Structure 1
Amino acid sequence: MDMQRALRARLLADDLVSALASGRVFWGIRPPKSLLPAITLNVIPTVLAEHMKGQQSLQFFRVQMDSWGDSYAAAQALVDAALACLLPRLKNDNYYFRTASATVPRDLSEETTAGTIHRKQTDLTIRFSLA
């Protein structure tokens, strides 16, 4: 399992995130007409950490996380739950996730023909290595 699958599995295994998003955690784009609330994740270009013998075991990935909701409160509740899940240390799926860090979520709500879609976007620094 790669880090991206392990990170998604971590979110899906969290009781509160699972209750709010009902399995709607996606890498890349949110599928058209998918239900809300939902989370999308995207890797932001990152330099792989290296030393004189090659890649370090501890890596730092930047991940953009968007929490989507049909109300501002739903988007906020989902981003809060996701951050509570992702920021602490955890070992799962052959990965050891160190303490992560995050920016303060940005508000990026938008008007569509179907109404307002509320989105909270935050950038995460995910520190991890193989367990």
Structure 2
Amino acid sequence: MDMQQALRHRIRTFPAVVAISGVKVDWGERAGLPAVSLLIVSGEIAQHMKGVQSLQFARVQADCWAASYAQAKALADAVIAACLPRVTVEGIFFRTASATLPRDLGEQTATAYIHRKQTDLMIRYSPA
């Protein structure tokens, strides 16, 4: 399994995330409300003299979407909590992550306002 699949699985199975959004956690898309969409926004393939090193870094943007501000905030808090501790998931060892404070965003649709809390997660990982 690669980092993206493992990170999605990690967030999707975290109890506080499941309680709010079920399993609606996807890369690059929003599947209804409430939901989490993930995007890799930066990173590099770190190398040393012998080639690619095992420890890698990726900055992942997590957008937490909901019908209410309180629910979007709770979902963002749950996603951050899911990503901070060290853990091995599906053959990927995630080291301690860091996160920015979630930004308040959103969008007006024809019928309602959709709240979005956006945070950047610095994910540090390697094969287990």
What TM-score range do you get, normalising by the shorter chain?
over 0.9
State the distance in 2 between where 1:14 and 1:29 align.
Answer: 19
The unaligned stretches of length 5 or more in structure 1 are none
Structure 2 equivalent of residue 23 of structure 1:
23
Structure 1 equivalent of residue 126 of structure 2:
129
Q: Kindly, what percent of the aligned residue pairs are identical?
A: 55
Bigger shift: residues 21-30 or 69-78? 21-30
State the distance in 2 between where 1:126 and 1:114 align.
Answer: 36
Contact (CA 8 Å) 2:13, 2:23: kept in 1 or not? no
What amino acid is aligned across from residue 50 of structure 2 in structure 1?
Answer: K
Q: TM-score, normalised by structure 2?
A: 0.96
Tell me, what secondary structure is at the counterpart of 2:114? strand
The RMSD of aligned alpha carbons is 0.9
What does the per-residue CA deviation read over 1:87-121, in whole Å, with 9 as the maximum and x for residues that have no partner?
A: 11111100110000111111112211121000001
State the distance in 2 between where 1:45 and 1:85 align.
Answer: 20
State the distance in 2 between where 1:2 and 1:130 align.
Answer: 9
Aligned length: 128
Q: Which runs of 4+ in 1 moved over 6 A?
A: none
The unaligned stretches of length 5 or more in structure 2 are none
Contact (CA 8 Å) 2:76, 2:117: kept in 1 or not? yes
Residue 20 of structure 1 deviates from its aligned partner by: 0.7
What does the per-residue CA deviation read over 1:43-93, in whole Å, with 9 as the maximum and x for residues that have no partner?
A: 113211111111110000110100001000010000011111111111110
Structure 1 equivalent of residue 44 of structure 2:
47
Structure 2 equivalent of residue 100 of structure 1:
97
State the distance in 2 between where 1:112 and 1:13 align.
Answer: 30
State the distance in 2 between where 1:89 and 1:110 align.
Answer: 34
